[in-house]
A = this chain, B = another copy of it.
Amino acid sequence: MSSLKQKCTNIADNHLFTKIIIGLIVVNAILVGLETYPYFAVNYSDWIYIADTILLWVFTIEIIIRFIGSSSIRAFFRDPWNIFDFLIVASGHLLVGAHYVTVLRVLRVLRVLRAISVIPSLRKIVNALILTIPSMGTIMLLLSIFFYIYAVIGTMLYSSIAPEYFGTLHDSLLSLFQVITLESWASGVMRPILGQAPSSWIYFVTFIVIGAFVIINLFVGVIVNNVEEAAREEQPTPTDIKLEEVQKELKEIKELLEKKSR
């Protein structure tokens, strides 16, 4: 049994094995792409079904190998990417008999995401992105409060003037998201309202200045900074390299001094 485990570890760490899996993910991606063309979906539905089943089973075997090859069950499930892989594949088996055709097809598409868990450099960058989420907690909270207050006020003031944009609280939230991306905020949203509520420009201009100019830029700044910092740890800047040289020099000087004082 231990030799099986050893074999599985060897296979899982093998470069060729990884490359084959990446290749199969690409095949899977092409398959789900072709399936969107009615011509293929109709004429080759059997072939697609067979290829899909084979892929599902190959991915299942791959995960079983990686599972056996890992040092322990806990070690395997401690890595969130393994859980992700497991869920993607397991749900493919569980739902196979079901009639949720759309769900099954979306699931097949999501298998393409496995590229992230298999290619190390992608995994690293996505990990860095996910790690920035907690550090953005405060800005996210600020953004949520800001959106909520403007959405409630917008619904209160403009629900009868522009029901398609501010009819209900969730309509308002979506419209404010549109406004914060600056898309048709004036031509589409504000100007029609402005005719009936001449002071509504205050609402939109303050929302854009605070939201789109300030908070969104803080949000983007935090994400980009954190990911760059993560990248920097591996590839230090010229400033950091020089500082390290300075630290080394200082250490040598100190040793020289201490030797003499002895």
Identify the A interface with B (CB < 8 A): 29, 32-33, 36-37, 102, 105-106, 109-110, 112-113, 115-116, 119, 121-122, 124-126, 129, 137-139, 141-142, 145, 148-149, 152-153, 155-157, 159, 168-169, 174, 177-178, 181-188, 201, 205, 208, 212-214, 216-221, 223-225, 227-229, 232-233, 237-240, 242-247, 249-254, 256-261
Q: Closest residue of chain B to A235, judged by CB?
A: B135
Q: Look across to chain B and name the residue whose beta carbon is closest to the beta carbon of A228.
A: B221
Main secondary structure of the interface of A (DSSP, over half): helix
Q: Are A138 and B125 interface neighbours, CB within 8 A?
A: yes
Which residues of B lie under 8 Å from residue A256 when comparing CB positions? Answer: 254, 257-258, 261
Which residues of B are found within 8 Å of A254, using beta-carbon distances?
249, 252-253, 256
Complex: A141 Cα to B214 Cα, angstroms: 18
Q: Is the CB of B149 within 8 A of A112?
A: yes
A223 partner residues in chain B, CB cutoff 8 A: 213-214, 217-218
Q: How far is the CA of A25 from the CA of B260 in the complex (A)?
A: 67
**Residue pair A250, B250 in contact (C-beta under 8 Å):** yes
- For the complex, what is the distance from the CA of A254 to the CA of B248, rounded to whole Å? 12
Bound-state CA distance A182–B177 (Å) is 11
Nearest CB in chain B: distance from A147 CB, A:
11
* Chain B residues whose C-beta falls within 8 Å of the C-beta of A225 in the assembled complex: 228
Determine how close the nearest CB of chain B comes to the CB of A106; give it in whole angstroms: 6
The docked-state distance in angstroms from the alpha carbon of A237 to that of B229 is 9
| Pair B148/A112 contact, Cβ less than 8 Å | yes
**3 nearest A-B pairs in the assembled complex, by CB-CB distance:** A178-B186, A184-B187, A36-B155
